[in-house]
Structure 1
Amino acid sequence: MTNSLEKNYNIRGKKMGKDLILKTLRHGNVDEVPWVPFSGVHAGFLKGYSARDVLTDGDKLFDSLIEVHKLYTPDGMPVIFDLQIEAEILGCELLWAEDNPPSVMSHPYAGELTVPCKCKIPKITDGRIPMVLDVMKRIKAVVGEDTALYGLICGPVTLASHLRGSQFFMDIIMYPEYVKELIGFCVEVCNAMSSYYIEAGMDIIALVDPLISQISPKSIEGLFMESFQAAFDFIKSKGALSCFFVCGDATIQMDVMCRTHPDGISIDENVNIYEAKKITDQYNIAIGGNIPLTTTLLFGNQQDNMKFIVEMLDNIDHHNLIVSPGCDMPYNVPIDNTVATVQAIKQTETVRKMIENYEAIDEKIPVDLPDYENLEKPLIEIFTLDAATCAACTYMVKGIMQADEEYGEKVEIKEYKYTNKVDIARTKKMGVQHLPSTYINGELKWSSIIPSKQELIDVVSKYL
């Protein structure tokens, strides 16, 4: 399959950007900080394609990636950002959206303590893998000399939760040996996908495991440490570099993540990058992040994005650092905002002068909080980035919705999304520090931790 753009597109003709990424992940010294836009479905927005278009149509995905390369001059870039590719092959039903990646709607191993047999490991011909590999090879041929290419894979813990559903979090407590077996299978899936992507030309393999932020460091160390180490060792044995990509408040998980031996770790805005870098530096691991996805990239202006980057670069050691959005960019991020981000990274001193007198305008959106002392029934409020796009948020919402199954109309449940301006204002007024978080009658109960069903019932019952 040949696309005319592959013949006509004039690449930058230099290896500087790619070298910046590779040297940084190999912990060498570089003259400037590298930049990676995790453009995901936003790439389709640049060309007028829907999220589903770019996640199912190879030509549209390729065209969109070329546009990302032209507009955002990345040092590194992902080919596709979809954590459901493996789950779909393994039997999960997906719910598709026009402006978000699909979400997992069914869990084929819910209700049974079964580990899939090895014959279920995705083959190179299964599902959307052939389309992804074809695009990887095509984009490698066009921009691979000057841009480091990322292959993003669904991490083993998130994949296990796709297969088991919210029961997986109870499994960790009740059936740890089963969990180890299931994670072992999921690592074999990761290794198979890593092998396919590396053979297709990917320079960096990122295990994207947002749900790690929802699991205690003790459980990670006891149940998952060896499996993650095996996955990262496999990537290195194939000659590629590795990255551990987490979403949510992974502050307390940073140390144990470093001990899984990735070359880099990527975090989002829930984690204080200045404090996190102190930990990654102890292990000589690169860290990437963490431009706020909504308040800055989506709803900010050019000056807001420039100001964030300049202040970040002024206050952090540039060694072992990659600047990137905190996660998959929202679909309709204004192009000018991302271009402003690039300018601030690559021309910091010039931009510093441009914004020296700029003061951000705090948009005052009136929000009335409930009278928590006089509610007719318990009010459970879930504050998320967006359950449609954030796996950690998805499973937080699914976990909390078990209260609806248990109590029905005796409780009220609401989700507030950080992709909505009014909900952002509410989140700030509530003083929510980390997403996802769950409050009952205005009291914080779970911050970046998904409760088991029994824990949820025990807590909610106290409010009835």
Structure 2
Amino acid sequence: MLPKEILFQTLRHETAGQTAWVPFAGIHAGKLLGYDATEVLTDADKLFASLMEVNKLYKPHGQPVVFDLQLEAECLGCELVWAKNSPPSVASHPLAEHMEVPADSTIPSKEDGRLPLVLDVMRRMKAAVGDTTALYGLICGPFTLASHLRGNDIFMDMFDDEDFVCSLLDYCARVGMRMAEYMVEAGMDVIAVVDPLISQISSAHFEAFMTAPFTKLFDHIRVLGAFSSFFVCGDATRNIEVMCRTGPDSISVDENVDLKGAKAVTDRYNICIGGNIPLTTVMLHGTQQDNMKWVVELLDSLPDKRNLIVAPGCDMPYDVPVENGIGVAQAVLHTDEVREMVKNYVAAEDDVQIELPDYAHLAKPLVEVFTLDSATCAACTYMMGAAKAAKADYGDRIDMVEYKFTEKENIARCKKMGVPNLPSLYINGRLKFKSIIPSRDELAAAIEEAL
């Protein structure tokens, strides 16, 4: 059976003879051929060659063509900051100073921004590997796109101006619908609606604001004849059920979510679930055996393999060693043989030593933001945005630092601190906000208490 048919069977909720494997190799694809993130996201030939290398090395059932949640934002006037080893990040928010929902005439056309490049590579990938590999088109979800346009104030807007938020989300859903049309026309089999910020709101806010636009979006993708995926990062545990009710064919989660527990929920709705290989502790900093063992143990922990897709928890870090990606592929494709290979393998203990601040004797409040990486993770970007705004307000009266989970010493710091999820914000060593981005007033109240 062709690899893509295995993925299609899974997405049709049939029993496939093989667990599906989808490596979310966005900027990491460029690493395979020595191209940096900026090159691979701005040069069609380099992007195409890199994707073909992913296809050759990782033998996927499905693969994304590009993983860049800033494509739509760039077309809509957001300024981007580019980096060598991560996707660009949004640096300006066109609606930060005025609450005016854009007109439909501003919805990007196929000629705007980098869309011609992306659609061209999609067509080339379809011609090259589309007969054997299912291709994913990734679009920015309505809430994250609304946040790109409005900035951190979107979280306060949900309390202060519900009508504006609903109208803006509806506009962003229409942007997503148009993007889905372009990508399906270019040959994409699966449209993944990637919305990291969904993990940062309550179920009540989801039902109040997100159910309608996401349902409309997934219904539209179904009408287009493509499969759909609701892709969320961070601790989305509390929102898995309300996400299911919007009608996607699949849901993708990261390491913050217990996959076995989440699958029990998605199975009730007969929805596939994908995930959730840890991006840094396993894929980036682990050995090939660590990756193999993690996948085998995941598969062995799930007695029912139907409705399951093995995948990284999000966009793979740029510097993931190629042998680790190959190890994951082998563990999925040849599970019995790999299980035998790693049955006696014991991971080496990390000996990084961390000294924590003397929180009881700080000269002034210390705001610590624990992120995956605010340059690559949208939820982390907006958590850091809240902290930076507080720093701007309070100046030298407080200290503020970010600890990125991509660095080994910060992994050790998270373990020593007992950080439960990313992103999280601590003040004077105490957890204040876990996977919930605070409003300006909420964070100010927490800081005032510390002062």
**Common topology (TM > 0.5):** yes
Superposition TM-score, scaled by structure 2 size: 0.99
Counterpart check, 1:78 vs 2:64 = yes
Aligned partner of 2:374 among 377, 382, 387: 387
Return the alpha-carbon distance in structure 1 between the equivalents of residues 7 and 18 of structure 2: 10
1:162 CA drift (Å): 0.2
Return the alpha-carbon distance in structure 2 between the equivalents of residues 60 and 173 of structure 1: 45
> 1:405-429 deviations in whole A, cap 9, x for unaligned?
2211110011000000011110110
Return the alpha-carbon distance in structure 1 between the equivalents of residues 285 and 370 of structure 2: 18
1:249 aligned residue: 235
2:420 aligned residue: 433
Aligned partner of 2:439 among 444, 452, 457: 452
Tell me the secondary structure at the aligned position of residue 401 of structure 1: helix
Tell me the secondary structure at the aligned position of residue 274 of structure 2: strand
1:433 CA drift (Å): 1.1
Aligned length: 450
1:411 aligned residue: 398
1:272 CA drift (Å): 0.5
Return the alpha-carbon distance in structure 2 between the equivalents of residues 332 and 308 of structure 1: 19
- Percent same amino acid at aligned positions? 57
Aligned partner of 1:110 among 78, 96, 103: 96
Return the alpha-carbon distance in structure 2 between the equivalents of residues 356 and 213 of structure 1: 35
Return the alpha-carbon distance in structure 2 between the equivalents of residues 352 and 162 of structure 1: 43
> 1:272-299 deviations in whole A, cap 9, x for unaligned?
1010001000100000000000000000
2:24 aligned residue: 38
Structure 1 stretches of 4+ with a deviation exceeding 3 A read: none
Tell me the secondary structure at the aligned position of residue 413 of structure 2: helix
Counterpart check, 1:267 vs 2:253 = yes
Aligned partner of 1:289 among 272, 275, 280: 275
1:336 CA drift (Å): 0.5
1:332 aligned residue: 319
Superposition TM-score, scaled by structure 1 size: 0.96
1:123 CA drift (Å): 0.5
The aligned amino acid for 1:427 is: C
Counterpart check, 1:362 vs 2:383 = no
1:54 CA drift (Å): 1.0
Return the alpha-carbon distance in structure 2 between the equivalents of residues 244 and 393 of structure 1: 19
Return the alpha-carbon distance in structure 2 between the equivalents of residues 402 and 97 of structure 1: 23
Tell me the secondary structure at the aligned position of residue 205 of structure 1: strand
Return the alpha-carbon distance in structure 2 between the equivalents of residues 362 and 384 of structure 1: 23
1:111 CA drift (Å): 1.6
The aligned amino acid for 1:236 is: R
The aligned amino acid for 1:386 is: D
> 1:160-203 deviations in whole A, cap 9, x for unaligned?
00000101111111111100000011011000000000000000
2:187 aligned residue: 201
Tell me the secondary structure at the aligned position of residue 84 of structure 2: coil
> 1:23-71 deviations in whole A, cap 9, x for unaligned?
1111011011010000000000001111011111111100001000010
Return the alpha-carbon distance in structure 1 between the equivalents of residues 21 and 323 of structure 2: 16
Counterpart check, 1:123 vs 2:75 = no
Counterpart check, 1:350 vs 2:337 = yes
1:134 aligned residue: 120
Return the alpha-carbon distance in structure 2 between the equivalents of residues 121 and 352 of structure 1: 49
What value does the CA root-mean-square deviation take over the aligned residues?
A: 0.7
Return the alpha-carbon distance in structure 1 between the equivalents of residues 416 and 44 of structure 2: 43
Return the alpha-carbon distance in structure 2 between the equivalents of residues 434 and 327 of structure 1: 15
- Unaligned residue ranges in structure 2 (runs of 5+): none
Tell me the secondary structure at the aligned position of residue 375 of structure 2: coil
Return the alpha-carbon distance in structure 1 between the equivalents of residues 144 and 305 of structure 2: 31
1:26 aligned residue: 12
> 1:107-126 deviations in whole A, cap 9, x for unaligned?
01102111011110000111
Return the alpha-carbon distance in structure 2 between the equivalents of residues 91 and 446 of structure 1: 31
More displaced, 140-149 or 15-24? 15-24
1:93 CA drift (Å): 0.2
Return the alpha-carbon distance in structure 2 between the equivalents of residues 135 and 38 of structure 1: 16
Return the alpha-carbon distance in structure 1 between the equivalents of residues 338 and 155 of structure 2: 46
Return the alpha-carbon distance in structure 2 between the equivalents of residues 310 and 289 of structure 1: 13
Return the alpha-carbon distance in structure 2 between the equivalents of residues 429 and 182 of structure 1: 41
The aligned amino acid for 2:347 is: A
Return the alpha-carbon distance in structure 2 between the equivalents of residues 131 and 268 of structure 1: 29
Counterpart check, 1:54 vs 2:24 = no
> 1:315-358 deviations in whole A, cap 9, x for unaligned?
11211000000000000100011111111111111111111111
Counterpart check, 1:147 vs 2:127 = no
1:363 CA drift (Å): 1.0
1:459 CA drift (Å): 1.1
